[in-house]
Amino acid sequence: MENKKDTKLTKKDIFQTFIFENFQQASFNYETIHGLAFCVDMIPTIKRVYKTKEERVAALKRHLAFFNVTPALCGPVVGITMAMEKGRADGEEINEGTIQSLKVGLMGPLAGVGDPLMWGTLRPILAALGASLALQGSWFGPLIFFFAFNGVRLGLKWYGLKIGLDRGLALVKDISGNLLPKLTEGATVLGLFIMGVLVTKWTTINIPLVVSKTTTGGKTTITTFQQILDQLCPGLPALGLTVLMMYLLKKKVNPIILIFGLFGVGILGYGLGILK
C-alpha cells in the first residue's frame, strides 16, 4: 500500500466517532480514566488511515494511555488527534511524541474550562430552574433540564469534533485567544450570582430561640433570635453555614461526612429547641 496518500475520513467515520464520544466514560477506570474510551474514539480513524497490522497495533496502543477531560469537551482533542493521525498516515512528519504531548497539553486547559463551565455553572443553573418548576408540579422542570443540558452538550461534542478535525493545529491557538477566558469569566459571574440567590432563597434555617420577652400593658412581645437576624439581613445563617462548608471542603473533609455532621446538628438543635 505504498501509493501517494491523501486518505479521506468519511462522513460515516466522523459520525461514528461522535456516537462513541457520547460514551466517553463507559469504561471509566482509576488507572487511565478515559484511556480505553479515547482508544475507542480513535478506532474509526485508525481503521481508515492505517492498513498494516503493525501500524494499527502501534496506533491503538498509543491511544490507550491515560486521558481525562470534561466529557462534554472531549471533541476538540479527539478531532485534532484524528487530523494528526491522518497526517501521520499520509506521510507527514508527525511523530508519536507530538501526538501524545498535544493530547496532554489540551487535556489540562480544556478540563480547566470545562469543569467550571459544565458542572459549576450550566448544570446547577438548569437543574435549579428545573427543580423550581418541578416543585410547583410542572413537567417542564425535568423536560427543560434534560433538553437544554443535552442540547448544549451535544452541540459542544459535535462542533468541537468538527472544528478540531477541520482546523487541526490552528485550534490550539484559538483556544489560547480571548474567547474562552471571556466565556469562562462571564459564566462564572452568572454562576456566582445565582448561587448567591439560591443560598438565601432555598435554605431554611429557623432559630426560634427567645432572646427577650417584654410585657407592656398586658401585651407580651417575644423577640426571637431569628427575627433579629432577619432584620439585619435575611439568610445570614445560611450564608455563614455555606462559608463554613466551603472552608471545610477546602480542608479536604469528605462531603458525605459534612452531610452527616449537619444531620447531627439538626437532631441536636431540634432536641434542644434551638432549631425548628
* The one among 91, 151, 208, 234 contacting other proteins by CB under 8 A: 234
- Give helix 179-201 / helix 236-250 axis angle, nearest 10°: 130
* The one among 19, 23, 92, 210 contacting other proteins by CB under 8 A: 23
Nearest distance in Å: CB 8, other proteins:
20
Q: Between residue 33 and residue 72, which ones bind other proteins under the rule CB under 8 A? A: 33, 35-37, 39-40, 43, 46-47, 53, 56-57, 60-61, 64, 68, 71-72
Nearest distance in Å: CB 171, other proteins:
13
**Which residue, 124 or 168, has its beta carbon nearer to other proteins?**
124
* The one among 6, 8, 30, 221 contacting other proteins by CB under 8 A: 30
Q: Between residue 162 and residue 221, which ones bind other proteins under the rule CB under 8 A? A: 173, 175-178, 180-182, 184-206
Nearest distance in Å: CB 84, other proteins:
17
3-state SS assignment for residue 221: strand
Q: Which grid coordinates are listed for 140?
A: 417542564
**Which residue, 4 or 74, has its beta carbon nearer to other proteins?**
74
E strand or H helix that includes residue 214: strand 210-216
Using rule CB under 8 A, residue 32 touches other proteins: yes
C-alpha pair distances (Å), 229 with each of 50, 171, 211, 242, 246? 70, 53, 11, 16, 22
Tell the residue number behind the cell numbers 398586658, with chain if given: 218
Nearest distance in Å: CB 3, other proteins:
21
Nearest distance in Å: CB 136, other proteins:
8
CA distance 202 to 100: 46
221 φ/ψ angles, rounded to the nearest 5 degrees: -105, 120
Nearest distance in Å: CB 207, other proteins:
10
Nearest distance in Å: CB 249, other proteins:
5
Residues 275, 207: contact at Cβ < 8 Å? yes
**Which residue, 142 or 162, has its beta carbon nearer to other proteins?**
142
* The one among 131, 152, 228, 229 contacting other proteins by CB under 8 A: 131
Binding piece for other proteins, criterion CB under 8 A, among 2-10, 144-152, 163-171, 218-226 = 144-152
195-221: buried (b, 16+ CB within 10 Å) or exposed (e) per residue? Answer: eeebeeeeeebebeeeeeeeeeeeeee
Q: Between residue 245 and residue 274, which ones bind other proteins under the rule CB under 8 A? A: 245-246, 248-250, 255-256, 258-260, 262-263, 265-271
Using rule CB under 8 A, residue 226 touches other proteins: no
Number of alpha carbons in the 13 Å side-chain half-sphere of residue 186: 6
The alpha-helical segments, DSSP class H, found in the chain are: 11-21, 35-49, 53-62, 74-89, 96-114, 123-135, 140-167, 170-175, 179-201, 225-232, 236-250, 255-272
| DSSP symbol at 67 | B
